[in-house]
Amino acid sequence: MGFADQRFNVNLSILFTELPLLERPAAAAAAGFTAVELWWPWVDAPTPEQSELDALKKAIEDAGVQLTGLNFYAGQLPGPDRGALSIPGEESEKFRANIDVAVTFAESVGCTAFNALYGNRVDGVDPAEQDALALENLTLAARAVDRIGGTLLIEALNQPESPKCPIVSAPKAIEIVDKVNEATGLGNAKFLMDLYHLSMNGEDLPSVIERYAAKTGHVQIADNPGRGAPGTGALPLQELLDQLKKAGYDGWVGLEYKAGDRPSAESFEWLPREARAAR
């Protein structure tokens, strides 16, 4: 096996950011990809104008790519906020307002996978209060996603870069997945296995794959150190993806790495062009 046996998509919120949002789907297509994913594109607007949603839909459709993953509103990404649903007050209210907007938009372009970033700990607020709010909001999101046959993804970030985030290990993310599924009875919450974040946390990646592949709904990759393309760091990404496939994971692998100082289109030399289109 190898990279050619995977189904890759490009995260247009970290790659091709040298271009305006509406030009990125076509740029990914020109680079040979047929699938993309996005963080919520409007960091200050959980409920943007319909014209903005329509314009993004048209850009995706005109490019001939499939949107395979979308984040719910999560505040300023990249940035210090890194999540909203567990933050009392305005941020969690924005998350709730975003749920139906995001699900309706995603359904219009055939996307059924949704990443819900947990949110930082807030000084002066009881962590138990935040966790109760998070479960309530994740339950709402899981039920909304279920209406279109979708999957709710729970991601572990990494402690060095997100020191206030409480979800910084695979076991903790799995704990949240299990709690959501128990609360809803739907079983549509899954683990988002980001190999870069987990490696930054010092986790044993082969062990994580062995233990949690069956509960994984999406995978994202970047090399470490540096969060660059495969081959720029020390992670054996091809071996890890081979292990995932042998363990039964056959879903998407999101390219969520930084291109560095070069144009994004030049950062894919590690992946033969014929392996970029989804099969």
Place of tokens 């210090």: 80
Q: Both tokens of residue 193? A: 């296995």
Q: Which amino acid is at 44?
A: D
Active site residue 93: no
Distance CA 174, CA 212 (A): 8
Catalytic residue among 256, 266, 269, 274: 256
Q: Are 224 and 196 in contact (CB under 8 A)?
A: yes
Q: Residue 261 and residue 45: Cα distance in Å, rounded?
A: 29
Instruction: Indicate which residue of 37, 91, 155, 203 is catalytic.
Output: 155
Q: Any residues with CB less than 8 A from the CB of 142 and at least 6 apart, and which?
A: 152, 180, 181, 183, 184, 186, 188, 189
Q: Is residue 52 annotated as a catalytic residue, yes or no?
A: no
Kindly list the catalytic residues: 155, 256
